[in-house]
Amino acid sequence: MTAPASEGSAQERSAQQGSAHVGSVLLAGGGTAGHVSPLLALADCLRRREPDVRITALGTSEGLEARLVPARGYDLEVVPKVPMPRRPSPALLRLPGSLRRAVQAADDAITSSGARVVVGFGGYVATPAYLAARRRGIPVVVHEQNARPGLANKVGARFARHVAVTFPDTPLRGATVTGMPLRREISLLDRTARRGEALAAFGLDPQWPTVLVTGGSLGAQRINEAFRGAVASLRSAGVQVLHVTGAGKDFEVDETGSGAPYVVVPYADRMELAYAAADLVVARSGANTVCELTAVGLPAVYVPLPIGNGEQRLNARTVVAAGGGLLVEDADLTTTWVEESLVPLLRNASGLADMAAAAASVGERDGDELLADLVSDAASRGA
Ligand SMILES: CC(=O)N[C@H]1[C@@H](OP(=O)(O)OP(=O)(O)OC[C@H]2O[C@@H](n3ccc(=O)[nH]c3=O)[C@H](O)[C@@H]2O)O[C@H](CO)[C@@H](O)[C@@H]1O
């Protein structure tokens, strides 16, 4: 496991490079928090290294970035969303026009921010940023979160100055393994020290073991339904639950009678507190979720999203092989599974401790510093 980088080591790194002055950078990523979390972690790291660096995020007005980026104190410029249709449709015929408008909006953001480097995190916001940067001769750095790269990053990687990947076996040629940039409230989290505060913040009770349930930044219908059906049995089994459902997917719980608390929240703005409260996590294996849980040493049951390009199964592969997590198929994640398999898992304290240690053994915590090194290098060398 990599030790968290201290402030001192960050400064040493910058000094060693002698080229850390980035000046102004455009960070492109949005849609889900899966792209926004690493963007914010990199922004924080660049700002720690260079307090007057100008940071501009490029996103859409519809994605989670519209709330999360300004909430963390960064400027957001928007591009129109360019959905990539999967089959011939009127939207496909309109694509060249909408892509052209998005590239122009990204180009305008480069001009107004004076960006010297464009960093993209994939997804539909990244494509116009990569194309605008190439047109302007501005160096591009690509960060791929997932074990299987998405389309935008495959395109960006063809002309990027640096390509960074989270997982060593991600097939992007010439990539540097930086790991995932994690927000410091997570990478430096001391779960034991923060547990009491975290339980109190969610109205949970220290006497019960705690399961955190999360379907990622948008929530997962199937996970939500499986747990919703098990509320009464979990409460009476003495298992307390913090269930983060995704915005607009929360539900009411009947808290009458005795039993452990079952707390439902639509979104956790302070995910580090949710992690500090938990003994075990049931989650989708989005790349950030996997990297955060291993960084903080939390055992987890991973339920990969069965659609998309299959990246979630691969994201969880290393931690599951190490013994830090279990893989459960989406179709098998039922109320019966929760009642019959999850409860015994939680009652096995020594088994959980072994899983926690195994999860921590594959956790990495300096992805923000390693990616910031590549951004500095790209800025110093220019186009
Ligand atoms: C459906 C979909 O498109 N999923 C993708 C999306 O997932 P998703 O957006 O769910 O991404 P991840 O699991 O990678 O990350 C979720 C992020 O949101 C944060 N968080 C989540 C819930 C919450 O209440 N509060 C909070 O802060 C987590 O701390 C984490 O930083 O991006 C990931 C990274 O590209 C991909 O691996 C997923 O396949």
The Å distance, Cα 310 to ligand 1 centre, comes to 15
The Å distance, Cα 340 to ligand 1 centre, comes to 28
pLDDT value at residue 86: 58
Domain presence at residue 2: no
Same domain, 355 and 336: yes
Number of independent structural domains in the chain? 2
Domain presence at residue 76: yes
* CATH code of the domain covering residue 23: 3.40.50.2000
Which residue's CA is the nearest one to ligand 1's atom 22? 217
pLDDT value at residue 85: 61
Which residue's CA is the nearest one to ligand 1's atom 36? 286
34 is annotated as contributing to ligand binding: yes
Ligand 1-lining residues (CB < 6 angstroms): 32-35, 37, 145-146, 214, 216-218, 244, 267-268, 271, 284, 286-289, 292, 305, 308, 311-312, 315
Whose CA is closest to 210, among 201, 222, 220?
201
CA–CA distance, 366 with 247 (Å, rounded to integer):
30
CA–CA distance, 71 with 184 (Å, rounded to integer):
16
The Å distance, Cα 284 to ligand 1 centre, comes to 8
pLDDT value at residue 186: 98
Same domain, 306 and 158: no
pLDDT value at residue 308: 81
Note down pLDDT in tens along the chain; length 383 residues.
333 444 444 444 544 444 469 999 999 999 999 999 999 999 999 999 999 999 999 999 999 999 999 999 999 999 998 766 656 667 666 668 888 999 999 999 999 999 999 999 999 899 999 999 999 999 999 999 999 999 999 999 999 999 999 999 999 989 999 999 999 999 999 999 999 999 999 999 999 999 999 999 999 999 999 999 999 999 999 999 999 999 999 999 998 889 999 999 999 999 999 999 999 999 999 999 999 999 999 999 999 999 888 899 999 999 999 999 999 999 999 999 999 999 999 989 999 999 999 999 999 999 999 999 999 999 998 76
315 Cα nearest atom in ligand 1: 37
Same domain, 228 and 177: no
Same domain, 168 and 194: no
Same domain, 207 and 144: no
Domain presence at residue 1: no
Same domain, 374 and 304: no
Same domain, 293 and 266: yes
Same domain, 127 and 94: yes
CA–CA distance, 153 with 47 (Å, rounded to integer):
25
153 is annotated as contributing to ligand binding: no
CA 139 to chain centre: 24
- The domain in which residue 34 lies consists of 7-185+365-381
Whose CA is closest to 25, among 106, 118, 108?
118
The Å distance, Cα 218 to ligand 1 centre, comes to 7
Which residue's CA is the nearest one to ligand 1's atom 34? 34
Same domain, 252 and 350: yes
CA–CA distance, 351 with 328 (Å, rounded to integer):
17
182 Cα nearest atom in ligand 1: 31
pLDDT value at residue 257: 86
> How many residues does this entry show for the chain?
383
The Å distance, Cα 7 to ligand 1 centre, comes to 27
Same domain, 222 and 108: no
Same domain, 221 and 300: yes
Whose CA is closest to 34, among 121, 125, 127, 152?
121
Type of residue numbered 163:
V
Q: What is the DSSP string of 246-267?
A: -TT--------SSS--EEEES-
